[in-house]
Amino acid sequence: MLPQKQGEEAIVASFNESETEGGGGGNKDEVSDLQSSAVSMKSFLWHGGSAYDAWFSCASNQVAQVLLTLPYSFSQLGMLSGIILQIFYGILGSWTAYLISVLYIEYRSRKEKENVSFKNHVIQWFEVLDGLLGPYWKAVGLAFNCTFLLFGSVIQLIACASNIYYINDRLDKRTWTYIFGACCATTVFIPSFHNYRIWSFLGLGMTTYTAWYLTIASVVHGQVEGVTHTGPKKLVLYFTGATNILYTFGGHAVTVEIMHAMWKPQKFKYIYLLATLYVFTLTLPSASAVYWAFGDELLTHSNAFSLLPKDGFRDAAVILMLIHQFITFGFACTPLYFVWEKVIGMHDTKSICLRALARLPVVVPIWFLAIIFPFFGPINSAVGALLVSFTVYVIPAAAHMLTYRKASARQNAVEKPPFFLPSWTAMYVLNAFVVVWVLVVGFGLGGWASVTNFVRQVDTFGLFAKCYQCPKPVVAHSPLPQPHH
């Protein structure tokens, strides 16, 4: 039985006990009613494990600050390439999320046949790799996944500082990073993905508002005078933009944790694809509209908010994105919290406060890195090329091929090939294509372009940049002294 389901049944059992113990006393019935309503409200807001919860988590986690950098990517790629690559990487990302879900189900079913209990234990991707392919794969998966999630959290902090600056520029972006680092540290109190129900729902609503604000505001604003759309004009910029899109649809480094929080993880199969289809309705219109309106100006403005006129609608979008980035920070950090808890032997601890205290050392290096490298757009592309390419695309496809390389493994597989690709050979070919494509285009060309661009930013702005891509202050010229007569 799944741990989450046991938890739900425990709630029901405790409610039933309070009902039976109530007997016939009116006061006891009233107390019982109050207790049951409190439990049901807590369950509604806090205990999410349905397929809908998983869909909200996947969709909410995919589109955060990337919404604001996709127009920047379009300026590097051009309109046509931007649209085609979004669709291509969205489908590719959905396929590898499906592979991860298959491997999770395979691993879990094998372990449960050995009577292994996962009560008070959250299964993670590196453990799936360890159980199916051995310790070397565990080490590789752990290294790439943790590094990706670390920098994913760093990006959220940078994005928070970058966004709030457009509402209040009295403080520089570095100071805002200090402030939001402290705010985001409070995510240590959220136990697991099982408790993100209301946050995922709100987060997706916030990004939906922001995406449509970007679209409508750009159309209403119209094209700037003398707008040009010259992209793509440099290979470095082209592949930098392409890897940012690869990163956009590579948000499933937390897929296993989201699945484990489900009451019935078998239902996850196509949830990521459905989430991606919804995400397309947000990313394609907003990126296209902003690029249409501002064109090549975006090459020096990686955050779309910086070009739109300041008004109440923009301020509302900024505030909603800030809240959502706090949620996404928690999404990216929670698997790191789990790994750290397991390392120091605190993962089974039931006290939320003790676990929160143990998790705090994870936040410090994230805070520090966000202050060192405050480069919003370029760091997205670098993370996409060097980390997402392996974590999200290459490793799942290669792991699936190796797990089912033997006829016996294919025959005893818990999950058979999907209805739209019923042959194991066809799956092998598709997985091989994913590995080769991402290694050559994503990691190879994308890595070269992203690192080149990233180094340029460091050379231009320096490490610990106080206010990255901030407008230069206007220096007031003092009047010329009047001649004495």
Tell me the pLDDT band of 406, cut-offs 50, 70 and 90. Answer: very high
Mean pLDDT of the 81-87 span: 94
Burial 45-70 (b: 16+ CB within 10 A, else e): eebbbebebbbbbbbbbbbbbbbbbb
pLDDT of 164 = 80
pLDDT of 25 = 40
Per DSSP, which regions of 180-267 are E strands? none
- C-alpha 175, offset from chain centre: 24
pLDDT surpassing 90 at residue 22: no
pLDDT tens for each residue of 151-209: 878 887 887 777 787 777 777 777 888 888 888 888 888 776 666 778 788 888 999 99
pLDDT tens for each residue of 43-76: 555 566 788 888 988 888 887 777 888 999 999 9
pLDDT surpassing 70 at residue 463: no
Mean pLDDT of the 379-406 span: 86
pLDDT surpassing 80 at residue 456: no
Handedness of CA 53, 265, 118, 99 (dihedral sign): negative
User: 12 or 417, which is more confident?
Assistant: 417
Whether omega for the bond prior to residue 232 falls within 30 degrees of 0, making it cis, is yes
Position 204: which residue type?
Answer: L
Give 187's DSSP letter. Answer: G
pLDDT surpassing 90 at residue 32: no
pLDDT surpassing 50 at residue 20: no
* CB contact at 8 A, 104 and 131: no
pLDDT of 194 = 65
pLDDT of 265 = 87
The DSSP element (H or E) to which 56 belongs, if any, is helix 51-62
Position 313: which residue type?
Answer: F
pLDDT surpassing 60 at residue 439: yes
Best-predicted range by mean pLDDT (130-144, 242-256, 346-360): 130-144
Angle in degrees, CA 259, 137, 406, rounded to 5: 85
pLDDT of 136 = 95
Decide: helix, strand or coil at residue 24. coil
Tell me the pLDDT band of 13, cut-offs 50, 70 and 90. Answer: very low
pLDDT of 17 = 36
Tell me the pLDDT band of 375, cut-offs 50, 70 and 90. Answer: low
pTM as predicted: 0.79
pLDDT of 18 = 34
pLDDT of 137 = 95
pLDDT of 85 = 94
User: 360 or 478, which is more confident?
Assistant: 360
User: 479 or 211, which is more confident?
Assistant: 211
Tell me the pLDDT band of 470, cut-offs 50, 70 and 90. Answer: low
pLDDT of 165 = 77
pLDDT of 282 = 94
Dist CA 305 CA 317 (whole Å)? 9
pLDDT of 115 = 85
pLDDT of 449 = 84
pLDDT of 193 = 67
pLDDT of 450 = 80
pLDDT of 61 = 80
pLDDT of 23 = 38
pLDDT of 26 = 43
Mean pLDDT of the 310-330 span: 86
pLDDT of 454 = 72
Tell me the pLDDT band of 31, cut-offs 50, 70 and 90. Answer: very low
pLDDT surpassing 80 at residue 147: yes
pLDDT surpassing 70 at residue 372: yes
Give CA separation, 142 vs 305, 339, 459, in Å: 35, 9, 32
pLDDT of 71 = 93
Ranges 32-36, 131-135, 449-453: which has the least confidence: 32-36
Give CA separation, 412 vs 407, 409, 421, in Å: 9, 5, 18
Handedness of CA 467, 328, 335, 447 (dihedral sign): negative
User: 249 or 139, which is more confident?
Assistant: 139
